A = this chain, B = another copy of it.
């Protein structure tokens, strides 16, 4: 596994206009550290593009091809093909999109690029809502969360669906490599990025990247919350490789889900019985998985 000491000091992402403590920026910065300068980055609409690619604040130091919101994977496809005919197949093509850009409006294109078996790395930084537009529900918004389109009013309307399971959807594509990981675990995450780079064919990483602004949390807690998600068992670290789904981190003594929920503004309204229901679901999931 990657050692922090060995990681390059070179920064390819520097000076973004993101909120203080943005988890998405951490995800992108770490990934670029592994992939290095010989990378082309694709960013669609979303917080990262909005905060890293606005003139004159150009925070990314690899070629960045920005694209339309639904088009990250297909822009990746075009770059892969273009670099191939230009004899530059050694360049890593990296698509990075949010949960909305990946699991909602970009899913079809992603499925297509994966199915065609193109050679690329794709990272979905998951902050569990459409954050760039102010925090609307996406299909990755977890059960119980408040968003601006699942407001909490007289008629209860908080999000009532579980998260879309991106990793299993990719596994169903029999993708060469995919992982579910978290910015709180840099070694594991960066190791996934390295594997993804080395994979011949499509490789997709789904990384939890909390958003202090959207989650209603202190900017200093971004990493801590991501870690809590793992330690409570809410966020499973897993990989799909060689046709196999594998849990990559088994938490011995899972922390109570409540600890995670109570730390966040977006769950403020949740009655305790809902939290207990969530705890039960988590417990059942892990029982079933072991």
**Do B111 and A107 have beta carbons less than 8 Å apart?**
yes
B residues in contact with A172, CB < 8 Å: 165, 168-169, 171-172
Task: Give per-residue flags for A259-279: 1 if the beta carbon is below 8 A from chain B beta carbons, else 0.
Answer: 000000000000000000000
What's the number of copies of this chain in the assembled complex? 2
Binds B, one of A22-30, A51-59, A112-120, A142-150: A112-120
State how many angstroms separate the Cβ of A289 from the closest Cβ of chain B: 13
B residues in contact with A112, CB < 8 Å: 104, 139
In the complex, which residues 101-151 of chain A have their Cβ closer than 8 Å to any Cβ of chain B? Answer: 104-105, 107-108, 111-112, 115-117, 139
A88, CB-defined interface residue at 8 Å? no
A164, CB-defined interface residue at 8 Å? yes
In the complex, which residues 199-236 of chain A have their Cβ closer than 8 Å to any Cβ of chain B? Answer: none
A161, CB-defined interface residue at 8 Å? yes
Given contacts A169-B172, A171-B172, A173-B169, contact A161 B108 (CB under 8 A): no
Show the binding face of A for B, using Cβ within 8 Å: 104-105, 107-108, 111-112, 115-117, 139, 161-162, 164-165, 168-169, 171-174
Q: A107-B111, A115-B164 are in contact. List 16 more A-B contacts (CB 8 A).
A: A104-B108, A105-B108, A107-B107, A108-B108, A108-B111, A111-B139, A112-B139, A115-B139, A115-B161, A116-B161, A164-B173, A165-B172, A165-B174, A168-B172, A169-B172, A172-B172
